[in-house]
Amino acid sequence: MVYRDDPEIDRIQWTEGARTGRIKGYPSLVVINRIIEPVPLPLEEVRGEMMSGYQEYIENEWIKQLKDKYSVRIDNAVLAEVKKSLKDE
């Protein structure tokens, strides 16, 4: 499940009861029956997202290390030749 910030919803006073107003330009009624305190999700529910985020972090660190260790020099003549050959395909 992906949670996104919604500034219009964030402006609602989060106490039990009914609220009227406009959300995304439409007249709206928001009824809050009860407030559920946030709790950590079980590992089974977040494992995939955590692994994906960690993988992205590791890849970014690796790329940073490679950029620090090796410099990149582009041979424009070779680049032009590759572009031409790809364009001809």
Write out pLDDT tens, residues 6-64: 777 788 888 899 988 888 888 988 899 998 888 999 999 999 999 999 999 999 999 99
Domain boundaries, the chain: 43-88
Q: Which token pair is 19?
A: 């609220």
Q: Are the C-beta atoms of residues 8 and 26 closer than 8 Å to each other?
A: no
Q: Are the C-beta atoms of residues 33 and 17 closer than 8 Å to each other?
A: no
User: What is the predicted pLDDT for the residue at 1?
Assistant: 44
Q: Beta strands 17-23 and 26-32: pairing type? A: antiparallel
User: Can you give the pTM of this predicted structure?
Assistant: 0.46
Q: Are the C-beta atoms of residues 49 and 33 closer than 8 Å to each other?
A: no
